A and B are shown apart, each in its own frame.
Chain A
Amino acid sequence: MAQPDGAPRMTDQITFPDVVSWAVPFFIAAILIEVLWIAMKGKGGRYETRDAVTSLIMGAGNVASGLLLGFIAYGFFMVLWALTPLDLGTSWWVIAVCFVLDDLRYYWVHRFGHRIRWVWASHVNHHSSQHYNLTTALRQTWTGTFTFMMIVRSPLILLGFHPAMVLFCGGLNLIYQFWIHTEAIGKMPKWFEAVMNTPSHHRVHHGRNARYLDANYAGVFIVWDKLFGTYVPELEEEKPDYGLVHNLGTFNPLRVAFHEWVGIFKDATQPGITWRDRLNYCVMPPGWSHDGSRDTSEEIKRKYLAHHPEKRGTPGF
């Protein structure tokens, strides 16, 4: 692709390795090590056969959906790339800056993923296991393309970061997040916990406890949560209870992948509500309902504090 004036661009034909698929052997090896560790020590986490298989199938399906639908996001990025006059090249420091900025992008997409039901419909399946082990990391969405969250990456492309590089950084981000899905590691050294996302921080994110709802959206750097006020530390006295506020009653991967989309459809098409209600069922936070018959995370926290007033002002409340 050439610039409008015909001058060749610095990063015309660049290829970055497809890091996520190359990491598959490492994922399998790490899961085997965690399984054997738990089996031998009798602590450090829990596995259950059907739960783990469902998580792994969700992971495989995520890669497949990327192969099938990835061209949509990539096509969108290439259009932006054709539009922007900026080109930062591919030097190591540009890749490093890209990685940090893409992690900021991840923070916001992830936060939207918990606060906008349309995006939650895709992300919910990552939280649908009642377990928390390395297979949970691979329980990834099949429907990410339909959330349109690729838009959040636009500024990066328009600033001159090549789409292939941005996707490379996104892949590294995903791989980083793999190892933090474990109960086998307690806390990392203090300096590391201060800057990086860790098993401890991310256990909080997967907790359905009222205290831990809507916290720790970080991908790689936990500093974003501290900066934007969504950080909650893991408390010694309150173990995270993993899963959804309303846990699934099926391991069927198709139902895991699509259940919240079906829920949105049913809610938004029910008779006797206004068009505004229909829209709200798509874009308001999960748990919103037109008649207040369901609870959002704010409502869950409020009810919890009504029963435990002494916890007001502690982390997460």
Chain B
Amino acid sequence: MPLHILLPLVVLGIAGIAVLLHLIGWSKPATLADDAAAKRAWLEEFPDDPPKRVVLSHDHHAALIETEKGHGVVWPMGADTTARYLTDAKISRTGKGLRIDLPDYTAPRIHLTLDAEEANQWPSLMEHPA
């Protein structure tokens, strides 16, 4: 197929599908129903490290996890979640919550949406054992 047809087709196709999916309402981030759901989401990534403690965010979109090995977070990847340990993390405040910079090519930046109280509390929970 000639490039001058293929290229607009691909660009418009991707843009069109993106707009359609968004209008249907399929851009909502994953929600963690309760502590048990957050625990399950963590175990999906780290089946050998059961959480000792779970702190679910007030909006149910993220969770702080503590295990034998340290602290980690579960956060939404679109409609699903993923999780990482916070080893060597740089944590900073943003207007909407916290930003976590990790030395991890597959998860370099995590933006957590938190209320003011959580954004104040979580950094200390992330650094010190409870």
Query: Complex: how many Å from CA A91 to CA B81?
Result: 51
Binds A, one of B7-15, B60-68, B86-94: B7-15
Name, among A32, A35, A50, the residue most crowded by chain B CB atoms within 10 Å (CB to CB): A50
Query: Complex: how many Å from CA A81 to CA B22?
Result: 49
Q: A22-B1, A24-B1, A35-B24 are in contact. Are A52 and B18 (CB under 8 A)?
A: yes
Name, among A48, A241, A243, A259, the residue most crowded by chain B CB atoms within 10 Å (CB to CB): A48
Chain B residues contacting A63 (CB-CB under 8 Å) are 6, 10
Q: Residues of B within 8 Å of A, CB-based: how many? A: 33
Q: Is the CB of A32 within 8 A of B10?
A: no
Chain B residues contacting A135 (CB-CB under 8 Å) are 17
Q: Is the CB of B106 within 8 A of A49?
A: no
Q: Is B104 an interface residue (CB 8 A)?
A: yes
Query: Complex: how many Å from CA A24 to CA B7?
Result: 10
Q: Is the CB of B17 within 8 A of A56?
A: yes
* Residues from 30 to 63 in A contacting B, C-beta threshold 8 Å: 31-32, 35, 39, 46-53, 56-57, 60, 63
Say how far A87's CB is from chain B's closest CB, in angstroms. Answer: 29
Query: Complex: how many Å from CA A22 to CA B1?
Result: 6
Chain B 13-49 interface 0/1 with A at a Cβ cutoff of 8 Å (1 = within):
1101110111010110000000000000000110110
Say how far B130's CB is from chain A's closest CB, in angstroms. Answer: 24
- Total A-B pairs in contact (CB under 8 Å)? 103
Query: Complex: how many Å from CA A63 to CA B84?
Result: 33
Q: Is the CB of B27 within 8 A of A50?
A: yes
Chain A residues contacting B27 (CB-CB under 8 Å) are 48-50
Query: Complex: how many Å from CA A245 to CA B19?
Result: 30
Q: Is the CB of B106 within 8 A of A28?
A: no
Q: Residues of A within 8 Å of B, CB-based: how many? A: 39
Q: Is the CB of A255 within 8 A of B21?
A: no
Chief secondary structure at chain A's binding surface: helix
Q: Is B59 an interface residue (CB 8 A)?
A: no
Chain A residues contacting B10 (CB-CB under 8 Å) are 24, 60, 63
Query: Complex: how many Å from CA A231 to CA B78?
Result: 32
Q: Which of B20, B75, B106 is within 8 Å of A248, CB to CB? A: B106
Q: Is the CB of A249 within 8 A of B107?
A: yes
Q: Which of B26, B75, B77, B106 is within 8 Å of A259, CB to CB? A: B106
Q: A49-B22, A249-B110, A250-B108 are in contact. Are A28 and B17 (CB under 8 A)?
A: yes
Q: Is the CB of A24 within 8 A of B79?
A: no
Chain A residues contacting B18 (CB-CB under 8 Å) are 49, 52-53
Q: Is B80 an interface residue (CB 8 A)?
A: yes
Say how far A294's CB is from chain B's closest CB, in angstroms. Answer: 11
Q: Is A84 an interface residue (CB 8 A)?
A: no
Q: Which of B6, B24, B47, B75 is within 8 Å of A21, CB to CB? A: B6
Query: Complex: how many Å from CA A25 to CA B13?
Result: 9
* Residues from 207 to 265 in A contacting B, C-beta threshold 8 Å: 241, 243, 246-251, 255, 259, 262-263
Query: Complex: how many Å from CA A21 to CA B13?
Result: 13
Q: Is the CB of A39 within 8 A of B107?
A: no
Say how far B7's CB is from chain A's closest CB, in angstroms. Answer: 9
Q: Which residue from chain A places its CB closest to the CB of B13 in the assembled complex?
A: A28
Say how far A182's CB is from chain B's closest CB, in angstroms. Answer: 15
Query: Could you show 24 A-B contacts with beta carbons less than 8 Å apart?
Result: A18-B1, A24-B9, A28-B9, A35-B20, A39-B24, A46-B26, A47-B24, A48-B21, A49-B18, A49-B27, A49-B78, A53-B14, A53-B18, A56-B14, A57-B14, A131-B79, A135-B17, A249-B110, A250-B106, A250-B108, A251-B78, A255-B108, A259-B105, A262-B105
Query: A-contacting residues of B (Cβ < 8 Å)?
Result: 1, 6, 9-10, 13-14, 16-18, 20-22, 24, 26-27, 44-45, 47-48, 75, 77-80, 82, 84, 104-110
